[in-house]
Amino acid sequence: MAIATADLQREPAKTSSGLSQLDQLKRYTRVVADTGDFGTIKEYAPQDATTNPTLILKAAQMPEYKYIIEKALAESRQGAGSGEEALQDVYHRVLVLFGVEILKIIPGRVSTETDAHKAFDVEALIDEARHFIELYQKHGVSRERILIKIASTWEGIRAAERLQKEGINCNMTLLFSLVQAVACAEAGAKLISPFVGRILDWYKKSTGKDFAPADDPGVRSVREIYAYYKKFNHSTEVMGASFRNAGEILELAGCDLLTISPQLLAELNQSHDPVERKLTPEWAKTQDVKKLSLDEPRFRFLLNEDAMAIEKTAEGIRLFAADSRKLWQYLRERI
């Protein structure tokens, strides 16, 4: 039976140990809030938070966050530039100011996303990432608390490789395959975000079938990546993302991190069912995983062989680019 939204805002359900599923999950996994809404972040007390243009656009249109838009506009007027240059400056300041406010609530890190229009431009991605870090530092936030989100294209991975050498940590997003994950790890990326739910969406559409959480293609993909990383001692963190239901989350209990939407945080907060750890480094070491050797031609070929991964990566870039344009237009109307 579906749980009404109002019901989800009650006090957490208690287990015999006094813990909700959300609190049990926090024993095994670093819980991350996938939202730009400060109230949600305060309510569920995650360690980290992730943002993207879609989430920031939604938050920016809420009356309680009008002050952030006004602050970004005020800061931008003090700088140089006009026209599109001024608009881009406001856009970057809005993303950073939301991150600054979020970091006042959480103890860990916030992810700020690069413009999807730059997903195939190494130099543009590096320049934007450096600019984000510079803006955060002007607000007294050290780079250790920032993750720069970059799409997991070949060019995005190369940008991350250089940024990591500068001490700028990267969160590789729009990731749908082991091939992308291995390339990110070899580049030294700090963190990857495999998109569980979007993988499920593709398989449901292409097969017409439903999948139980344990057999969910997105869940299986993260298990495979987690096993590969732990077996071959990669330090890159795995953060499952883009969940469609709580079952997917629970099947990945023990993953390094999981970034979870407000709706699913609320659902986990209400359930008192026990949570079993499913992923451990010890389990990963027992898995039959073959080591991949990648250069650019092999990366591109193997990614091209995976219809789901190539289609969902391209679709994700288009969608994030479209939402960036919507946020730009929203800000244009206020300048």
> Which positions are annotated as active-site residues?
149
- Count of other CB atoms within 10 angstroms of residue 271: 18
- Count of other CB atoms within 10 angstroms of residue 305: 11
Q: With left for phi above 0 and alpha for psi between -120 and 50, is residue 188 left, alpha or beta? A: left
Residues whose CB is less than 8 angstroms from the CB of residue 129 and which lie 6 or more positions away in sequence, other chains included? 114, 148, 150, 159, 163, 168, 170
Q: What does DSSP assign to residue 195?
A: B
Question: What is the C-alpha separation between 240 and 256, in angstroms, rounded?
Answer: 8
Q: With left for phi above 0 and alpha for psi between -120 and 50, is residue 321 left, alpha or beta? A: alpha
- Count of other CB atoms within 10 angstroms of residue 104: 9
Question: What is the C-alpha separation between 315 and 101, in angstroms, rounded?
Answer: 30
- For 13-57, give the secondary structure using H, E and C: CCCCCCCCHHHHHHHHCEEEEECCCHHHHHHHCCCEEECCHHHHH
